[in-house]
Amino acid sequence: MADLRSEFVGIKSPNPFWLASAPPTDKEYNVRRAYEAGWGGVVWKTLGSEGPPVVNVSGPRYGVIYGADRRVLGINNIELITDRPLEVNLREIKSVKRDYPDRALVVSLMVPCDEASWKAILPLVEETGADGVELNFGCPHGMAERGMGSAVGQVPEYIEMVTRWVKQNTRMPCIVKLTPNITDVRKPAEAAKRGGADAVSLINTINSITSVNLDDFAPEPMIDGMGTHGGYCGPAVKPIALNMVAEIARNAETAGLPISGIGGVTTWRDAAEFMALGAGNVQVCTAAMTYGFKVVQEMISGLSEYMDRKGMVSTSEIVGRAVPKVTDWQYLNLNYVTKAVINQDDCIKCGRCYAACEDTSHQAIAMDEDRTFTVKDEECVACNLCVDVCPVDCITMRELAKGETDPRTGREVGDYANWTTHPNNPSSASFCGLRPAE
């Protein structure tokens, strides 16, 4: 049987599924219910320093993007960090950790960007018995306007500075949560590592406006006729998150830096994909907000069954397995050629492949009078669009063997034998029309 027990930067949990710092982890009641449902860990909703209270809006806090079946694809959130008193949160954290010593409990923190503020709050968190802290350098709304959240996360020098302050003032593991609202996510990750971070977590929410009310002409969610940008999360952000996790995992400057993967994890398969690209565990928010805490039970059983099928006994066998196969475009193999093939027995003759290819691709599918659809190999570039739009999965791609002639180009497969003259080679004089550097 697969063993889902996880150890992330020395923090042990019965499985790699943690709840992310968000509304579901705002109080003791929620966290206890989460642990009882089976979550391996929780990152407590972001705490701020003692001082002027945080005041959240009392109107709508979430906007949403739906799929055609009204499935939630993404949520826009304008809620700030916790508005509950610091001492109440600390008391509840201590109580929960005492009663669930085998579950991970990490505390998310966001305080003003000065050493005194960080030095003041860290001992208070440490006294609760929490397993670690996560530095919230990602929140794109509300707190960023106050010089915190993504306002710090977008400046690598600030990340390095604050991380160093934290590491100098606590024994607890320090996870730095990164913002995706930046051009190159590798730079803040490198800064976190230089500052001594034990790990990074990503992605935090994406700055967004999800919709506009066309009666009142204001962004939604709408507060007294006005709207604002917020943080976008959910299944729709998963591709962005996967890419950013992979960029850090394959970057020489951050190689070996533990990663907690966040961004649209809804199923065990999502989690396994994050782990294959280098994440040691995953954090979940939108799935729990959409389906409730018990969604983790399907994640646990699904990942366990997958690992059993693969003969894996530990989640560590998944972590990073796909990283060596992530490359830059110019290194892709042009000797690999495929053609679409339509299984006529399974085809329902809907014509979606034909319409998509004829109107928007390479006119590589023919339609007979009886609505039989066939592939024109001499036109097919193997773009995969027909496979993607087929509702019954009756189209596959056949790989051409080495030496076989591609009807479209008239070139034998394997013709690009010399990499030094390959048009994809960055050192080739023809690459991007530029001559290579001397």
Residues ≥6 apart with Cβ < 8 Å to 279: 245, 249, 259, 260, 261, 319
DSSP structure class, residue 41: E
Catalytic residue of the set 139, 357, 390, 394: 139
The structure tokens 């979940």 sit at 284
The structure tokens 């019954």 sit at 392
Report the b/e string of 43-72 with b at 16+ CB within 10 A: bbbbbbbeeeebeeeeeebbbbbeeeeeeb
Q: At what angle do helices 86-99 and 28-37 cross, to 10 degrees?
A: 30
Run of H or E residues at 377: none
Pairing of strands 11-13, 6-8: antiparallel
Taking the alpha carbons of 371, 68, 241, 159 in that order, is the dihedral positive or negative? Answer: positive
432 carries an active-site annotation: no
Residues ≥6 apart with Cβ < 8 Å to 38: 15, 17, 294, 296, 297, 300
Assigned token pair, 214: 């066309």
Is 124 within 8 Å of 66 (Cβ atoms)?
Answer: no
Is 23 within 8 Å of 79 (Cβ atoms)?
Answer: yes
Look at the chain and count its residues. 438
> What are the angstrom distances between the C-alpha of 79 and each of 45, 143, 156, 264, 290?
11, 10, 25, 18, 17
The structure tokens 């990750």 sit at 189
| Sheet with 230-233: strands ordered across | 62-66, 72-77, 230-233, 206-208
Tell me if residue 191 falls in helix, strand or coil.
Answer: helix
Compute the distance between CA of residue 185 and CA of residue 203 in angstroms, rounded to an integer: 10
Compute the distance between CA of residue 278 and CA of residue 189 in angstroms, rounded to an integer: 14
DSSP structure class, residue 205: P
Is 2 within 8 Å of 308 (Cβ atoms)?
Answer: yes
**Taking the chain, what is the end-to-end CA distance rounded to the nearest angstrom?**
56
Catalytic residue ranges: 139
